[in-house]
Structure 1
């Protein structure tokens, strides 16, 4: 068999592989977001946000969806545009800045000589979606940084229904963003109460 014939057969064998590569769906990337809020007008209280921890099964760039109690589906095309811990940290910080109307929000780790008045730690227990709803379960801890005294510590569960028509990544990311805002409202309320001003939490703009 001459070389030209061999090259011909190799090319024929590679055609299906090339065609398969050409039809691979492109990845979609999603962000968690904070709702629009009035621009912060003050510098107090000063808030430090972090660290944020997530379960190991969520520690990936792919969106994870729950099939049943013990089964998960890891998407090959729907991905977070940033590490999930970083996205949660960013959004919670923005939420608290708007809710408490303070520009003085710092991300963990902060400089020890410029410690904030209050620290906020967040540990996600669950962050799941299925065909019907999204669920967020998180333990949050607010403390006074100066003396490490506890302000509030709670285990919070938030959930939202998903549209019945489809469960795409954009809807899941938007629903998670709503749950993180509801969680941030609880945290902001505990800080406002510790300051003796429980009515200080602002609503987002409409």
Structure 2
């Protein structure tokens, strides 16, 4: 008798388990940063270097993760579990920054990695990202410090700190990532403006 009750309970629970197993988690959406063309025609730049190479690119651990991070308030953030970067954020940021600088510095070869031996005529750009996230209202902040050093130490620009603030069209992940790409483009514009001086 006891055994029959146990079997009856298991038989009643089985349909619930089957239904629970049929439910699936939402599909993950994968995002990448995108190169944003300059607003006008990029003018050739007269520089002391023919090649610009990206050296160190450091990110805070807070954002160096697969999920897109959204700031809730000054002390709390949340990960958008099903809205992820398609590649490590540092790699995506490096390739986007390279593309943005290439579009803004015609006549200058922009390399995504400096390498161990920097040749004469090459400047190395070092970037430390202090903050790069969005808040729940759709405001994106890119706060970074950068410096540019020419091979042989002939000329150095920086360290310079830049804070870029972009409002996204909405607080949805698509709009946030577009605004983050725009923030990287504005950051690139400021680097190019400093190089032109």
Shared fold, TM over 0.5: yes
Which residue of structure 2 lines up, in the alignment, with residue 188 of structure 1? Answer: 192
Identify if the C-alpha distance between structure 1 residues 40 and 115 changes in structure 2 by more than 3 Å, giving closer, same or farther.
farther
Partners of 1:117 and 1:146 within 8 A in 2: no
Which residue of structure 1 lines up, in the alignment, with residue 18 of structure 2? Answer: 15
CA RMSD, Structure 1 to Structure 2 (Å): 2.9
Structure 1, unaligned runs of 5 or more: 194-206
Identify if the C-alpha distance between structure 1 residues 60 and 13 changes in structure 2 by more than 3 Å, giving closer, same or farther.
same
2:112 corresponds to 1:107 = yes
* SS in structure 2 of the partner of residue 110 of structure 1: coil
Give 1:20-169 correspondences, 5 Å limit. Answer: 21-22=23-24, 24-36=25-37, 45-102=50-107, 104-112=109-117, 114=119, 117-130=122-135, 131-147=137-153, 149-163=155-169, 166-169=170-173
TM-score, length-scaled by structure 2? 0.82
* SS in structure 1 of the partner of residue 72 of structure 2: strand
Render the CA deviation track for 1:79-105: whole Å, top value 9, x for unaligned: 011111001100111111111113622
CA distance in 2, matches of 1:155, 1:102: 26
Partners of 1:139 and 1:153 within 8 A in 2: yes
Identify if the C-alpha distance between structure 1 residues 6 and 135 changes in structure 2 by more than 3 Å, giving closer, same or farther.
same
Identify if the C-alpha distance between structure 1 residues 10 and 148 changes in structure 2 by more than 3 Å, giving closer, same or farther.
farther
Partners of 1:137 and 1:158 within 8 A in 2: yes
Number of residues of Structure 1 aligned to a counterpart in Structure 2: 188
CA distance in 1, matches of 2:44, 2:116: 23
